[in-house]
Amino acid sequence: ESAKPKYDYQSDVARMRKIVINSLYSHQEIFLRELVSNANDAIEKLRLTALKDKNVWDGVDPLNITIKAVKDEDGNGGSIIISDTGIGMSPDDLRTNLGTLAKSGTSDFLAQADKDKADGTNQGNLIGAFGLGFYSSFLVADRVYVASLPPKTAKNPNPAQHVFHSSSEENSFEVYPDPRGNTLGRGTEITLHLKKDALEYLENERLSALVEKHSSFSTAFPIYLFNQKTTEVVDEEAEAEDEEEAVVEEEVEEKKEEVEEPPKMKSIVVDEWLHLNSRPAIWMRDPKDVTEEEYKRFYSAFFKDTKEPMEWQHFSAETSGVSFKAIIYLPSEIEETYWQQPLQYQSKDIRIMNKGVFITSDLGEDGALPKWAAWAKVVVDADDLPLMVSRETLQSTRFLKQLKGVLLKRILGMFSKLTESDEPEKFEEFHKTFKTVIKLGAVEDLKNRDKLAAMARWHTNMRNLTSLDQYLEHRKQGQKQIFFLSEMGKEPEELAESVFVEKLHARGYEVLLLNEPLDEIFVQNVRNWKNVPFQDVAKVGLKFGDEALAEEEEKEQQKMYEEKFKPLLDYLRKKAFKVVRDVVISNRLVTSPVAVVADSHGYTANVQRMMSASNA
Ligand code: ADP
Ligand code: MG
């Protein structure tokens, strides 16, 4: 055997493989999901590349994934072969894609693994959250061979099939020309030599159940499983012998009625390929025929979310002459990273398909959902987009722009249903996840501002989670403002005890207690509700609605106090001139002796605190 070039794994890959080999064996079964998902990606890439270069794929040659279990003849072991007719890998691709760590998710995985090790948490919990990708092969295999052949291109008209080989024992891998030559028409063939504790995967029942569980929803291309079945066929030889005898008999007993004898049969073994994911995609089916469980399983497989969805809507619609089917899911949690994204953020989880084949998740400038809705997990399958439509041409159609309107309307509908849910738990869950998104929407999306602002809720000094409409219904006679107090991060109970709230409370006014950073931006942008303006109770110049009667009286009293306490005021002004602009007698306090307030033209106390913190 000639020497095969050996390469050391990048150190992160080495670590990753070690974790996989040593501590994740209770998650063995995910290897199939990961490898099928890679095969699916590879075919997807081929199809997209072929839109630009016809040499790569003629549009006819079948695109599929095959799985074959091969038992060793001695019955002690075996291997699994997973093939695809996708984009394949050049020797360079084999080295970099499988030997180095390009995947950002994997480095997140390693960071989290370190953290969990320090915390003593079980690393197995990570698996669901991060795909392990190709390395999951080593969950079940002690030796892995990847044979791959990229498609013919103008640049590389005669590609040669190469093999990547690695074993769990060594921290290196080899890449060398396949001694068998170009056995694949195109694509990749992964052979896993199973470890002794993974031989259960040689059984077809196990393999087809796994595909059904993890891959049937997320894979657009057919997945075939190799099967050998025994079947009964007519035993031609035995029949032929019979016939000879019959001829002899005929001569002897010419007049005897002919009796039809059943043909002689024998059992033989035939090879077949079982189509595992032959059911139509879930969104193509009639919603009446899809169970709740199926919707949930589809969600977790398709959008790779380990948490169950909160709500979904499955519908058909038509816009700009294109009819389509869609499912919109609301996740039960919004990822941390969502909040760090800019307003132009587009997630990868709004997937546009054409007749079951993925086209794009880039909706273009006009088609992108506003950020407040960009967390949505959506699959849209159009019936009749022009065949082979490319991403670029799709963006220039009116379809995406109109689709945006349809999706937003549906999402708003789902929101308002949940907002009005008479199941308190359901409402609470919804409010917890989406309260900030709703406020963001009211700020950024002028078209839907009123609908979203109507769904916002806050605690008040008088009751829990009140809407602006409820607030106005509850207002006192003559009240011309919506009172609020805003302090980031404070509990509503603390805010209710604030000196700014106490006087209003004593007089029977309701005050919205705002404690999220977005709350302040909300009141600044929305400014009023049904023409009643927001009023910060921590700003000077605060007016109540019922003071008209008492106004004269108060003015008198104010004057009297100002004269009486002039020496004290002068003294305080002098002492405190560096920290406050002025010291005045106030009628807004009931039990507290003093309060520091923001200038009515200045920033709110909250924003001021933020600014001075950032200057420090
Ligand atoms: P990910 O799929 O998240 O990128 P993986 O570890 O699963 O990470 O795969 C690493 C890379 O190896 C892929 O991005 C792809 O470039 C390449 N690859 C893996 N399997 C295949 C395959 N069957 N055909 C072509 N390329 C593949
Ligand atoms: Mg992968």
Per-residue pLDDT reduced to its tens digit, 527-584:
999 999 999 998 866 666 555 555 666 677 788 888 888 999 899 989 888 888 888 8
Q: What is the DSSP string of 515-539?
A: -SHHHHHHHHHH-EETTEEEEETTB
Residue in 9, 64, 103, 134 to alter for ligand 1 test, most ligand atoms within 8 A of Cβ: 134
Task: Pick the more confident residue, 540 or 45.
Answer: 45
Ligand 1 centroid vs 94 CA: distance in angstroms?
9
pLDDT (0 to 100) of residue 593:
80
Give the span between the Cα atoms of 484 and 510, in whole angstroms: 9
Check if 134 has its Cβ closer than 6 Å to any atom of ligand 1: yes
Q: Atom of ligand 1 at shortest distance to CA of 135?
A: 6
Residues 140 and 28: beta-carbon distance below 8 Å: yes
pLDDT (0 to 100) of residue 534:
96
Check residue 169 and report its DSSP letter: T
Ligand 1 centroid vs 142 CA: distance in angstroms?
19
231-251 average pLDDT score: 79
Residue ID of nearest Cα to ligand 1 atom 14: 97
Residue in 9, 16, 35, 41 to alter for ligand 1 test, most ligand atoms within 8 A of Cβ: 41
Check if 38 has its Cβ closer than 6 Å to any atom of ligand 1: yes
Task: Pick the more confident residue, 251 or 414.
Answer: 414
Q: Which of 541, 482, 542 is nearest to 513 (CA)?
A: 482
Give the span between the Cα atoms of 390 and 364, in whole angstroms: 13
Percent of the chain whose pLDDT exceeds 70: 84
pLDDT digits (tens, 9 = 90+) for 163-202: 999 999 888 999 999 999 999 999 999 999 999 999 999 9
- Among the listed ranges 159-173, 358-372, 474-488, which one has the minimum average pLDDT value? 358-372
pLDDT (0 to 100) of residue 536:
94
Among the bound ligands, the one closest to the CA of 40: 1
Residue in 17, 19, 35, 38 to alter for ligand 1 test, most ligand atoms within 8 A of Cβ: 38
pLDDT (0 to 100) of residue 366:
87
Q: Atom of ligand 1 at shortest distance to CA of 87?
A: 25
Ligand 1 centroid vs 399 CA: distance in angstroms?
32
pLDDT (0 to 100) of residue 388:
45
Give the span between the Cα atoms of 29 and 36, in whole angstroms: 12
372-382 average pLDDT score: 95
For residue 5, what are the CA distances in angstroms to 162, 169, 171, 345? 12, 17, 14, 44
Place of tokens 């290897």: 31
Check if 98 has its Cβ closer than 6 Å to any atom of ligand 1: yes
Q: Which of 417, 459, 415, 422 is nearest to 437 (CA)?
A: 415
Is pTM beyond 0.90 here? no
Check if 84 has its Cβ closer than 6 Å to any atom of ligand 1: yes
Residues 283 and 325: beta-carbon distance below 8 Å: yes
Residue ID of nearest Cα to ligand 1 atom 7: 133
Ligand 2 centroid vs 156 CA: distance in angstroms?
26
pLDDT digits (tens, 9 = 90+) for 306-355: 899 999 999 999 988 889 999 999 999 999 899 999 988 888 899 988 87
Residue ID of nearest Cα to ligand 1 atom 1: 133
Q: What own/partner pairs with CB < 8 Å and gap ≥ 24 does 419-424 have?
A: 419/455
Q: Atom of ligand 1 at shortest distance to CA of 190?
A: 23
Q: Atom of ligand 1 at shortest distance to CA of 34?
A: 7
Among the bound ligands, the one closest to the CA of 221: 1
| Beta-strand runs (E) in 11-150 | 65-71, 78-84, 141-149
Residue ID of nearest Cα to ligand 1 atom 16: 97
Q: From edge to edge, which strands make up the β-sheet containing 350-354?
A: 311-319, 322-330, 377-382, 350-354, 357-360
Residues 583 and 569: beta-carbon distance below 8 Å: yes
Backbone angles phi, psi at 220, to 5 degrees: -80, -25
Ligand 2 centroid vs 40 CA: distance in angstroms?
9
Give the span between the Cα atoms of 483 and 504, in whole angstroms: 9
Check if 188 has its Cβ closer than 6 Å to any atom of ligand 1: yes
Q: From edge to edge, which strands make up the β-sheet containing 172-177?
A: 6-8, 172-177, 162-167, 141-149, 187-194, 78-84, 65-71, 223-234, 265-275
- Among the listed ranges 101-110, 162-171, 287-296, 362-371, which one has the minimum average pLDDT value? 101-110
Check if 329 has its Cβ closer than 6 Å to any atom of ligand 1: no
372-383 average pLDDT score: 94
Residues β-bridged to residue 112: none
Token pair for residue 356?
């079951």
Q: Atom of ligand 1 at shortest distance to CA of 86?
A: 24
Q: Which residues are within 8 A (CB) of 527 and not within 5 positions of it... i.e. 6 or more apart?
A: 533, 534
Among the bound ligands, the one closest to the CA of 150: 1
Ligand 1 centroid vs 72 CA: distance in angstroms?
28
Token pair for residue 506?
């004593």
pLDDT (0 to 100) of residue 590:
65
70-78 average pLDDT score: 93
User: Residues within 5 Å of ion ligand 2 by Cβ?
Assistant: 38, 133
Q: Are strands 350-354 and 377-382 parallel, antiparallel or unpaired?
A: parallel
Check if 87 has its Cβ closer than 6 Å to any atom of ligand 1: yes
Secondary structure class of 275 (helix, strand, coil): strand
Give the span between the Cα atoms of 401 and 363, in whole angstroms: 8
pLDDT (0 to 100) of residue 530:
96
Ligand 1 centroid vs 97 CA: distance in angstroms?
6
Check if 604 has its Cβ closer than 6 Å to any atom of ligand 1: no
- Among the listed ranges 295-299, 406-410, 415-419, which one has the minimum average pLDDT value? 295-299
Give the span between the Cα atoms of 505 and 539, in whole angstroms: 16
Ligand 1 centroid vs 98 CA: distance in angstroms?
7
- Among the listed ranges 26-35, 141-150, 298-307, 393-402, which one has the minimum average pLDDT value? 393-402
Q: Are strands 78-84 and 65-71 parallel, antiparallel or unpaired?
A: antiparallel
Check if 137 has its Cβ closer than 6 Å to any atom of ligand 1: no
The mean pLDDT value of the chain amounts to 86
Interface pTM, i.e. ipTM? 0.99
Residue ID of nearest Cα to ligand 1 atom 11: 97
Residue in 10, 30, 97 to alter for ligand 1 test, most ligand atoms within 8 A of Cβ: 97
Residue 451: is its pLDDT beyond 90?
A: yes
Q: Are strands 65-71 and 223-234 parallel, antiparallel or unpaired?
A: parallel
Ligand 2 centroid vs 103 CA: distance in angstroms?
9
Residues 424 and 439: beta-carbon distance below 8 Å: no
Q: Atom of ligand 1 at shortest distance to CA of 133?
A: 7
Q: Atom of ligand 1 at shortest distance to CA of 131?
A: 3
Check if 85 has its Cβ closer than 6 Å to any atom of ligand 1: no
Quick one: CA dihedral 289, 291, 292, 297, positive or negative?
Answer: negative
Residue 493: is its pLDDT beyond 90?
A: yes
pLDDT digits (tens, 9 = 90+) for 127-147: 444 557 898 899 999 999 999
Task: Pick the more confident residue, 589 or 29.
Answer: 29
Residue ID of nearest Cα to ligand 1 atom 15: 97
